């Protein structure tokens, strides 16, 4: 089956490491129930084994024109390419000792379900629409159109503890490849 390609524009600004994620490595994931596109709630703190959680600001809706202001925010653009990079690498990631992959944003579950179906994502998305995980973990965020969005990153979580952090992530479509490289060399 052919996969849809969502290229990342080459002229977007790269994010800089603002230190917003430096406190995460070594910390336990807090017990927070997040709605999933599976229809269930998921508590990342209870997942056994090694799991990969990638977090992103927001994906555009089908036909939505991405405004230039969004493109000018370092690290904002590229959420769908990031999600698709995990789609394309999911078999390799899972065959390298990972139990599950999840994507997390502050968008609602219905919005995430549409993305999952449209881009044929083989993993589930989790909604932190109420910012429970953001607040409990003190995740780095940005404000956009009166909404709090999570800055792009990925976490390797072993038995409920953060063991590796990718932050900032750039370019976003290489995130899954960076995770896979870490898995193969750890």
Residue 171 lies in a domain: yes
Residue 114 lies in a domain: yes
Residue 5 lies in a domain: no
Specify the pairing of strand 50-55 against strand 153-158. antiparallel
Residue 130 lies in a domain: yes
CATH number, domain at 85? 3.40.30.10
pTM above 0.75, yes or no: yes
How many structural domains compose the chain?
1
pLDDT, tens only, 44-61:
999 999 999 999 999 988
pLDDT, tens only, 47-102:
999 999 999 999 988 888 888 888 888 889 888 899 999 999 999 999 999 999 99
Residue 13 lies in a domain: no
Residue 7 lies in a domain: no
Domain range holding 165?
33-185
pLDDT, tens only, 113-146:
999 999 999 999 999 999 999 999 999 999 998 9
Residue 11 lies in a domain: no
Residue 10 lies in a domain: no
């Amino acid at each position: 089956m052919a996969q849809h390609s969502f290229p990342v524009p080459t002229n977007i600004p790269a994010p800089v490491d603002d230190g917003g994620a430096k406190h995460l490595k070594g910390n336990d994931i807090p017990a927070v129930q997040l709605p999933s596109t599976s229809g269930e709630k998921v508590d990342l703190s209870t997942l056994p084994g090694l799991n990969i959680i990638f977090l992103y600001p927001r994906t555009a809706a089908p036909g939505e024109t991405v405004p230039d202001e969004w493109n000018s925010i370092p690290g904002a653009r590229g959420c769908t390419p990031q999600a698709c990079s995990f789609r394309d690498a999911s078999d390799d990631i899972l065959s390298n000792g990972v139990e599950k992959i999840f994507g997390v944003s502050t968008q609602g579950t219905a919005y995430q379900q549409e993305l999952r179906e449209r881009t044929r994502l083989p993993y589930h998305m989790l909604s932190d629409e109420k910012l429970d995980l953001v607040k409990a973990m003190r995740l780095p965020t940005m404000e956009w159109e009166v909404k709090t969005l999570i800055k792009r990153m990925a976490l390797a979580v072993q038995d409920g503890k953060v063991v590796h952090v990718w932050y900032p992530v750039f370019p976003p479509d290489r995130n899954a490849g960076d995770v896979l490289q870490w898995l193969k060399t750890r």
